[in-house]
Every structure is written in structure tokens, then in C-alpha cells.
Amino acid sequence: MTARNAVSMNGLMVGLVRQKRGEEAVEVFKETRHLVDINIDSYVILLSACAEFALLDGGRRKGREVHGHAIRTGLNDAKVSVGNGLINMYAKCGDIDHARSVFGLMVDKDLVSWNSMISGLDQNKCFEDAVKCYNSMRKSGIKLGLDLDVSVSNTLLALYAETGRLAECQKVFSWMLERDQVSWNTVIGAVADSGASVSEAVEVFLEMMRAGWSPNRDDNAIENALLACYGKSGEMENCEEIFSRMSERRDERGQRLDCFTFATVLSACATVATLERGMEVHACELDNIETFINKMPIKPNILIWRTVLGACGRVNGRKTELGRRAAEMLFSMDPQNAVNYVLLSNMYASGGKWEDMAKTRRAMREAAVKKEAGCSWVTMKDGVHVFVAGDKSHPEKGLIYAKLKELDKKIRDAGYVPQIKFALYDLEPENKEELLSYHSEKLAVAFVLTRNSGLPIRIMKNLRVCGDCHSAFKYISKVVNRSIVLRDSNRFHHFEDGKCSCLDYW
């Protein structure tokens, strides 16, 4: 192949990349690179090829080789198109630090550069950094609207939704000149998950219908979001109405609802069943949850049984037998998952069945199953700070525990009473109170309050917030006069002036 045929080599590599044969495209380059004049297009195609098999270790290794070759030939990341390709390649290979480095060294950045960096941060779960990158893009003078690709706009919507910034999510949505089904799904889901009013989620849904969009015939995402929104707000009648319509529509087409839809309804039933007014509120509540399962047209999967077991753990031991059955099904379907043991143990503890709880934990140890430690984290200017219950490892632990003691006194004076029923251990009441006071989210909020700021406090937690911490956070928001956003495994909680956006449904 002569120097004149570099275009031919590039064309061959493009064809292989389009066929998802990126590794072969790299081999073509290696075999012919000494016979042709390499140009910028060659490197852009090569980097795209490496990104195609990014999940394999070879993708990252070969991508670095291409990067090194580009530097030696002078066609490095200073060239915008090559730099963009490097960012995309490193991000898809999970090497986000190298992607950041390339982005930072680029003298000229175009919209593709920013889009690639934002998408890369999102792919690597760096949500806060992706939001910061987007804000930097706006400050740099890059125009929004026509210039912003719909897929990147959707990424931004998802980023703001993931971090509980509903106002920003809605702002990006309002700027979008082009929207697709993903855009509508994301913003409705964001509203439903944020703790906003049900009417707000419904209004977005109606706006979608007025704009000529309707829920995808084979996709339950939007209706599931509305189901969850009604369920989390305790509005079971509306929840059931949507569920019935979904079932009827599917029956007409000879299709079935997915397990996620059924799990959403079961979770809603459990939420309503934990209210003060008891379990007689509606026919489809926890007392009839087993009947509901038996009538399902599909076989219950892990998600369904785990939802049931979690629900049984929230009613103070009133549905122990159903919980045991759900646990047995889970152990047969997913025997090495620690969540199943933890949910069963918590169910026994909530009903004061300490011997059964001990047996469950012993069985877990014998099965060599280890549970994920509960933790909370906050992102500050100096990095991410992670806390576990009773954590003493933080370098500022003295300040944190002093602030925690100060907060405890203030909220008790304001009327807070520790809810020791959420301390799932067989201990004396005073020991239970102490145990509750050192939960990871309380340490996280105390840490943030040692810093001088009036901004909303944002905390992430990998497990569901317990009832005691939820109560404490309402009081904390009032006594310190700060907004607190807590994202647990179930939803966003926006605490302000002693109230939570979830209205105590979660």
C-alpha cells in the first residue's frame, strides 16, 4: 500500500469499526502504518476502534499505544479531533483520569470536546463532576440550544436527576429545542423521584401528551414513574387506576407487564400499609399482598420477592410468615446475595424476634456471605468524604463528634425524641439511643456543618434512611435553618424548615 492509499486504509478501518470489529481495525493499522502517511483521520478512527472494545483490557492498552504514537508524530491531543477521540476512548475504557488530563491540556475545545467530557464523566459515575463540567461549558461561552446534541442534553437531564437538582433538570429540559422519548422519560422520572407533588409529575406527563408524544407501547418507564410517584405519596387509588389501565392495554395486545411494574405496585402497597391508620386502607395493601402475587400473570422474580420481604420488615412483625416465605424464595433464587439475609434479619428485629434474628445472622456467616456496609458521603471542594456508622477514621473526627453532640442537644430541645425501634439490636434503651446517634448520615451532616456555608447540604446514602434519622433530619433542617437533600436507596428527601418533601412516605 503506497502513501497515496492512506485513504484506503482509513476506509477499511472505518468499515471494521462500523461492524463492531475494533480490534481488527487496530491490527490493520499495525500492519500498514509503515506503508502510508498517517493523518489525523487515521488516529480518530483508531481511537474509535479502541473505544469499541473498551470493556476488554486490550482496548485501554492499545488506546494508550495509539496516544503515544500520535504524540511521537506530532498529531497529539493539541489537535481538537484527536483530543476528542482520546477523551471518548479513555472514558469508555474507564480511565477517566486520563480523559480529564487530555481535556485539560487541550488548547482549543469545541462542543464535541465538552460533550465527550460530560458524557465520559457520566459513564464513570462522576455525576457531580459532570454537572460542574456542564456549568464550566456554559461559562466558557459555548451556546446552548441548537448546538447541544439531544443525547448530551439527555445526559445532563439524567445527571441533574441523579443528584437531586430538579430545578436545574427542568431548566435544561426547557432549553432543549429537540426532545425524544428518553427526554420525557427522564424528566418525568426526575419529578416523580424528587419528592415533588404528584400533580407536578402529572402535569409534565400531560405536557408530553400535548406535544404529541405518548408512552412507548412496549416501554412502561413513564407509567412506572407515575405509579411510583402515587405510591410514594400514599395515593393508592390513583396508583391502582394507572395499574389497571396498563394491564388492560397489555391484555388487548396479548402482552404482559414486566416485573418492575408489579414491584412498584407492591412497594406502594407496603408504603401505605406502614401508615398510622393501619393496613385496612385499601384492598390492595399488605394484608392482601400474597393474593396479589398469586394472581400475577408472570412468575415472581427476585425483584418481586425482595420487595415483599422489605415490605414485611416495615410493619413491626405483623407479616412474619409472608416474610419467611419470601426469604425462602430468595435464598433458592439468589443464595449468595447478602441483601436477602439483611432484610430477613431486619424483619425479625423490627418484630422483636431476637433469636430468629441471631439465627439469620449466623446462617449468613456460615454461608460466607458478606453484606455491603451502610455508608453516606458528601462531595466538598476538597473531595468526597465517606462515613460509616460510628466512624472514627476521619481526620476531623473531633470536630464532627462535637458538632454532633451540639446538634443532638438542639434538636432534643426542639422536640426530637429518638425512635429506638429503629435500632435493630437487643440492647438497653440508652444503648440504642447511642447507636442511633452515630448513623452515617448524621455524621455526614455534622461534618458539613463544621464548614462555613449557607448552601443546601447534599448527602448520598447507599441504603434506605431509617425512621429515626429521617425524623432527626427534619429537626436539624429547622434548628440550623438549612436545606438538606438526602438521596437514599429509595428516593430523594428534601428537608426544609422541619418538613420533608416525601411527607413521610418512603
DSSP per-residue letters across 322-345:
HHHHHHHHHHHH-TT-HHHHHHHH
In which band, very low, low, confident or very high, does the pLDDT at 400 lie, cut at 50, 70 and 90? Answer: very high
Q: What pLDDT is attached to residue 413?
A: 94
Look at residue 284 and tell me whether its pLDDT is greater than 60. no
Cell of 224: 412506572
One-letter amino acid for residue 195 of the chain: G
Residue 385's H or E segment, with its range, is strand 383-388
Higher pLDDT, 495 or 172: 495
Phi-psi region for residue 145, left (φ > 0), alpha (ψ -120 to 50) or beta? left
Q: Which residue has the cell 432527626?
A: 472
Q: What pLDDT is attached to residue 331?
A: 92
pTM over 0.75: no
CA distance 92 to 150: 20
Question: Is 398 domain-assigned?
Answer: yes
The residues near 101 (Cβ < 8 Å, ≥ 6 apart) are none
Higher pLDDT, 147 or 264: 264
Q: What pLDDT is attached to residue 470?
A: 92
In which band, very low, low, confident or very high, does the pLDDT at 278 lie, cut at 50, 70 and 90? Answer: very low
SS3 290: helix
In which band, very low, low, confident or very high, does the pLDDT at 404 lie, cut at 50, 70 and 90? Answer: very high
Query: Residue 237 phi/psi, 5° resolution?
Result: -65, -45
Q: How far apart are the first and last CA of the chain?
A: 66
Mind listing the pLDDT tens digit for each residue in 202-258? 778 778 877 777 666 556 677 777 777 776 666 667 776 777 767 666 566 655 666
Question: Is 440 domain-assigned?
Answer: yes
In which band, very low, low, confident or very high, does the pLDDT at 62 lie, cut at 50, 70 and 90? Answer: low
Smallest Cα–Cα separation from 484: which of 464, 505, 499? Answer: 499
Q: Which of 43-47, 104-108, 454-458 comes out lowest in average pLDDT?
A: 43-47
In which band, very low, low, confident or very high, does the pLDDT at 4 lie, cut at 50, 70 and 90? Answer: very low
Instruction: Count other C-beta atoms under 10 Å from residue 211's C-beta.
Output: 10
| Boundary residue ending a domain (108, 141, 163) | 108
Q: What pLDDT is attached to residue 405?
A: 93
Percentage, residues of the chain above pLDDT 90: 13
Answer yes or no: are the C-beta atoms of 314 and 281 closer than 8 Å: no
Round the average pLDDT of the chain to a whole number and report it.
76
| Boundary residue ending a domain (87, 108, 129) | 108
CA distance 177 to 287: 48
Distance of CA 289 to the CA centre of its chain: 27
In which band, very low, low, confident or very high, does the pLDDT at 146 lie, cut at 50, 70 and 90? Answer: very low
Question: Is 162 domain-assigned?
Answer: no
Cell of 38: 498517517
In which band, very low, low, confident or very high, does the pLDDT at 448 lie, cut at 50, 70 and 90? Answer: very high
Look at residue 24 and tell me whether its pLDDT is greater than 70. no
One-letter amino acid for residue 437 of the chain: S
Using a 10 angstrom Cβ sphere, with 0-12 exposed, 13-18 middle and 19 or more buried, the burial of residue 259 is: middle
Q: What pLDDT is attached to residue 281?
A: 31
Contacts 24+ apart (CB under 8 A), 120-124: 120/87, 120/88, 120/90, 120/91, 120/92, 120/96, 121/91, 121/96, 122/155, 122/158, 122/159, 123/91, 123/92, 124/91, 124/94, 124/96
Domain count, the chain: 2
Question: Is 5 domain-assigned?
Answer: yes
CB contact burial 357-393 (16+ within 10 A = b; e otherwise): beebbeebeeeebeeeebbbbbbeeeeebbbebebee
Question: Is 52 domain-assigned?
Answer: yes
Question: Is 285 domain-assigned?
Answer: no
The residues near 132 (Cβ < 8 Å, ≥ 6 apart) are none
Average pLDDT of span 272-279: 39
Query: Residue 500 phi/psi, 5° resolution?
Result: -120, 145
Question: Is 270 domain-assigned?
Answer: no
Look at residue 280 and tell me whether its pLDDT is greater than 50. no
Mind listing the pLDDT tens digit for each residue in 183-200? 888 888 888 777 666 677
Look at residue 420 and tell me whether its pLDDT is greater than 50. yes
Look at residue 407 and tell me whether its pLDDT is greater than 90. yes
Phi-psi region for residue 391, left (φ > 0), alpha (ψ -120 to 50) or beta? beta
How far is residue 330 from each of residues 40, 89, 240, 304, 309, measured CA to CA in Å?
54, 40, 26, 10, 9
Higher pLDDT, 263 or 98: 98
| Boundary residue ending a domain (108, 139, 169) | 108
Q: Which of 146-155, 268-277, 424-433 comes out lowest in average pLDDT?
A: 268-277
Residue 403's H or E segment, with its range, is helix 397-413
Q: What pLDDT is attached to residue 376?
A: 92
CA distance 183 to 146: 16
Question: Is 43 domain-assigned?
Answer: yes
Q: What pLDDT is attached to residue 248?
A: 67
Percentage, residues of the chain above pLDDT 70: 66
SS3 496: strand
Structural domain boundaries, residue 7: 1-108
